[in-house]
């Protein structure tokens, strides 16, 4: 894991086409802005994990139905 320090208004670049900007910092909360191409999916980690769990469940159910 790469750990960086950034201040409000500063940014980092990921590859050639993703930019993450620190929009605001208040107390223990940081607001980030992300500029990326439309074909790049961006999710909060809890949403990402939920999607992965549902995809796995669907795959398991699909395999069960194929065996019958």
Supply the pLDDT for residue 6.
Answer: 96
Bridge partner residues of 29 (DSSP): 26
**Close Cβ partners of 18 (under 8 Å, ≥ 6 residues apart):** 34, 35, 36, 37, 40
Backbone angles phi, psi at 10, to 5 degrees: -85, 160
Global pTM reads 0.75
Supply the pLDDT for residue 62.
Answer: 80
Q: Mean pLDDT per segment of 10 residues, for the chain of length 68 residues?
A: 96 97 96 97 96 92 67
Strands 18-26 and 11-14 turn out to be antiparallel
Structure tokens at 8: 């409000």
């Amino acid at each position: 894991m790469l750990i960086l320090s950034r201040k409000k208004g500063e940014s980092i670049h990921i590859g050639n086409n993703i930019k993450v900007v620190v929009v605001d910092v208040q107390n223990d909360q940081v607001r980030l802005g992300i500029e990326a191409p439309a074909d790049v999916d961006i999710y909060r980690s809890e949403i990402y994990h939920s999607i992965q769990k549902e995809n796995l469940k669907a795959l398991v159910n699909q395999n069960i139905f194929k065996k019958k």
